[in-house]
Structure 1
Amino acid sequence: MAFCTAKIHAATPQSDSTLQVLHWWTSASERKAASLLAARMADEGITWRDAGIPGGAGIGAGKVLKSRVLANDAPEVTQIIGVSIREWADLGFLLELDKVAAANKWNTSFFPTIQNLIQHRKHVVAAPLGIHRINTLFYNKKIFSTLKLSPPENWDELVMVAAKLKAAGLIPLAQSSEPWQVATLFENLILAEGGPEYHRELFVRQNAQAVMDKRFSHALERLRQMKSWMNNPVDERPWTEVVRQFSKNEAAMMITGDWVKGELNDGGFVTDEAFSCTAMPGTGKYHLYSVDTFSMFTNDYSRIAAQEKLARLVATPAVQVDYNAVKGSVSVRRDADPARMDSCARASWNAFAQGATTQAPSLVHRMATDETSKDAIIAVIHRYFIDATVSPSDTQARLVAMYKTFGNNKKQTP
């Protein structure tokens, strides 16, 4: 991002206790989670001025934020996640929350990965809200029970389950051809093929040699095989429509992030009753993660007290429990009580708690790399998915060339 580092100022005067919050929580369950936070803020005397931007994976919100910063009209609070936090902090726009972190003992309350994520040059610049597990397989309990199917734990079992579902006249897998949703499925396959370390080689270190590994071509082949388990044709739909297909018993499984759990529960399709979840086959020990965070823009120093109050509030044990139960995510706190979580949340929290060796930062959700690299990688995978004439070797060659370009650009960056 090429912005000047001059401080920005809000265009419209507001009360010092009013904070505009830019985010991409626009589905029914996400709005409920946002409303919960707004109500907790109101209890603290802070008004939440909503600026929700539609668009899966925050694509639209990112564009809106950049345009507003250029127009000197940045919101006081913004949902910024992953590598994007460091990018904005590098430009000098983010409020340092060191006093809040120290007073509330964030350094011992949060998991180490969360601590690293919210810091930039030894300063805390974001407040964490919740952890999403991206490698989650959701399955319809009634359909599985009727067909006497068990949740698949490895690839061969997944293939067998899909075959039996197709034989019964059912769509095995609910899926959209929207680029970020395709890439989400693919990085699940990468994690299953090579674990967290291989996932990091590919998407964090962007190692061109790793792209030529057989595990990469296997993941591509399996992605194409899975396409035959989906709608024909696989249309481009928002994730909420994919969830709706699953909740109407029109598809037996979904593989995606656990935010869909909040949407299912909100629609009356209840966890551990209508559906349950397991890890993506082959990834049972791993956690492909995305972390929701808020950062505060230093556009109006009169609102620092309110911004710090919000940062403190969202990380408190009580808000963590209530917010994550609605959102479908799990607490960022090490002292959370897994006994108060449903089975899906408990599995997610326990997997994340095992530490860095079991964790993989999601490519699609900005945890692994910068926005430009992310978008370019997703485009290559999406092209392979939608065009049957593109071979795995073509895709590998294209990505290798791209990684070499990324490397050259980094070397030339002062």
Structure 2
Amino acid sequence: MTRVDAGTVQADTTLQVLHWWTSASERKAATLLASRLADEGVAWRDVGIPGGAGIGAGKVLKSRVLANDAPEVTQIIGVSIREWADLGFLLELDKVATANKWSNSFFPTIQTLIQHRKHVVAAPLGIHRINTLFYNRKLFNSLKLSPPESWDELVLLAARLKAAGVIPLAQSSEPWQVATLFENLILAESGPDYHRELFVKQNAQAVFDKRFTQALERLRLMKNWMNNPVDERPWTDVVRQFSKNEAAMMITGDWVKGELNELGFATDEAFSCTPMPGTGKYHLYSVDTLSMFTNDYSRVLAQEKLARLVATPAVQADYNAVKGSVSVRRDADPARMDSCARASWHAFAQGAATQAPSLVHRMATDESSKDAIIAVIHRYFIDATVTPADTQARLAAMFKTFGSNKKQNP
């Protein structure tokens, strides 16, 4: 992290912004930010890298930093913020945070997330709720179905949909999408404490808990509710299947809401959302944030303008309405939100006891650990010969290795 004397800085009016917002709704959200930044006299040079969950963008960022060509602004989220700050690449935004009273305006979890060693190193954009079940109102109404509130209700619902010739669940076999569904099952089965025990603390003993076994068994059962075979496809294709009335439900993050709206599939008309059964009180979260790279310091004033701008009440309200997420601000107006957003914002506002940091979306652990865990879950999903016991043994051994590495490299 680097602090800069503003008196030594020369203003520059262009910022290159690297991110992974490449779907129609995401591009619309990025364009909104670029337009508001232009009003401040700063040009947004867009560098959007395709790839679900930011996998491609992460690789591009690393290669550009190694080539001494880091963008001025980058979408970096969760634990990755701390990793880049440790390397000394991120600009400290303390002046912006203090002047705009971020410590009083943001939820405590957000305030903690954007800090490293007592310095603010990221500007928060919005909160996504990952434990969201979307249901197709046309299909539900035609079959006189109600949204499920428990696992047993979900099972019965899936059986009725299959009997009616409807695919119950739109889903991809892409690794991060499978793991997203799995961590929903973990949260539903056990709540935030156990979710953290697994994915934050990486407790090897927790892997052998019967709740983990049951989550694995339920994941395999749910495979019968999907396309046969379950093909690997981007999340936008899954959303299109749902919007064409070809599947009745999706269980994923609320970013798909923005995409559905862009497709003309309106919230609370064509579809509605409810928490994943068993997680009504909980919020499995991911937070979008922007960090500023120090480079030659010639663009610090422009970087600080962007950081201030994205956290303002007006931009927060407008950006999150497009993106499908909710404001990071405690003073946001729920009356301006749709029903899905209101439920998400109120759930997050309940505090840390109800919140679970998403594994898949970089909130729970470092990049290498995340990727390794996802790979094990994905292997179980696609290979019917892999048993729950096999998967538990692999993960337990992996967690022990992670623990040993942390002791050797504190």
- Number of equivalences: 404
Aligned residue in 2 for 1:162: 158
| 3-state SS of paired residue (2:299) | helix
Deviations 1:293-347 (A, max 9, x none): 0000001211000000000000000000000000000000000011110000000
Matches within 5 A, 1:118-197: 118-197=114-193
> Which secondary structure does the structure 2 equivalent of 1:376 belong to?
helix
Alignment correspondent of 2:335: 339
Cα offsets for 1:147-173 (capped at 9, x unmatched): 111100110000011000000000000
Pick from 376, 379, 395: which aligns with 2:375?
Answer: 379
Q: Which amino acid aligns with 2:15?
A: L
Which aligned pairs between 1:179-258 and structure 2 lie closer than 5 A? 179-258=175-254
Residue 113 (structure 1) aligned with residue 109 (structure 2): yes
2:324–2:341: 8 Å Cα contact kept in structure 1? yes
2:394 matches 1:368: no
3-state SS, counterpart of residue 302 of structure 1? coil
Mapped partners of 2:366, 2:311: distance in 1:
26
- SS state of the match for residue 301, structure 1? coil
Q: Distance in 2 between matches of 1:40 and 1:411?
A: 46
**Using the alignment, how far apart are the partners of 2:232 and 2:32 within structure 1?**
31
Does residue 72 of the first structure (1) align with residue 68 of the second (2)?
yes
Letter in 1 for 2:25: S
| 1:62-106 alpha-carbon deviations (Å, 9 max, x no partner) | 000000000000000000000000000000000000000000000
1:17 and 2:23 aligned: no
SS in 2 for 1:224: helix
1:413 alignment counterpart:
409
In structure 2, the CA distance between the partners of 1:6 and 1:322, relative to structure 1 (3 Å rule), is closer
SS at match of 1:320: helix
The TM-score with structure 2 as length reference comes to: 0.97
Alpha-carbon deviation of 1:46? 0.5
* Residue of 389, 397, 403 corresponding to 1:401: 397
Equivalent-residue separation in structure 2 for 1:410 and 1:229 (angstroms) = 40
Q: 1:308 aligns with which of 280, 288, 304?
A: 304
1:16, distance to aligned residue in structure 2 (A): 1.0
1:354 to 334, 344, 350: 350
The alignment's TM-score, normalised by the length of structure 1, stands at 0.97
User: Which residue does 2:317 correspond to in 1?
Assistant: 321
TM-superposed deviation, 1:6: 11
CA distance in 1, matches of 2:121, 2:11: 23
Match of residue 263, structure 1, among 259, 263, 267: 259
Deviations 1:30-83 (A, max 9, x none): 000000000000000000000000000000000000000000000000000000
1:60 maps to 2:39 = no
Q: Which amino acid aligns with 2:209?
A: D
Measure how far apart 1:15 and its partner are.
8.1
The whole-number CA distance in structure 2 between the counterparts of 1:310 and 1:205 is 34
Would you identify which runs of 4 or more consecutive aligned residues in structure 1 move more than 2 Å? Answer: none
1:179 alignment partner AA: P
Aligned mates of 1:28, 1:145 — CA distance in 2: 28
Paired AA for residue 52 in structure 1: G
| SS at 1:48 equivalent | strand
- In the alignment, is the contact (CA less than 8 A) between 2:186 and 2:215 conserved in 1? yes
Q: CA RMSD in A?
A: 1.2
Quick one: distance in 2 between partners of 1:300 and 1:234? 48
Letter in 2 for 1:155: W
1:37 maps to a residue whose letter is L
Q: Which runs of 5+ in 1 are unaligned?
A: 8-13
Distance 2:348 2:63 in 1: 35
1:92-148 deviations in Å (ceiling 9; x for gaps)? 000000000000000000000000000000000000000000000000011111111
Distance 1:396 1:188 in 2: 18
**Who is 1:293 aligned against?**
289
Q: Identity percentage over the alignment?
A: 88
| CA distance in 1: counterparts of 2:17 and 2:61, whole angstroms | 11
The yes-or-no answer on 1:90 pairing with 2:86 is: yes
Give 3-state SS (helix, strand or coil) of 2:134's partner: strand
CA shift digits 1:164-217 (9 cap, x unpaired): 000000000000000000000000000001100000000000001110000000
CA distance in 1, matches of 2:86, 2:170: 40
One-letter amino acid of the structure 1 residue matched with residue 233 of structure 2: R
* Secondary structure at 2:201 match in 1: coil
Match of 1:277 in 2: 273
2:386 paired with 1:390: yes
DSSP 3-state at the match of 1:228: helix
Q: Distance in 1 between matches of 2:408 and 2:274?
A: 44
Q: Does residue 95 of structure 2 align to residue 99 of structure 1?
A: yes
3-state secondary structure, aligned to 1:397: helix
Quote the Cα distance in structure 1 between the aligned partners of 2:2 and 2:38: 32
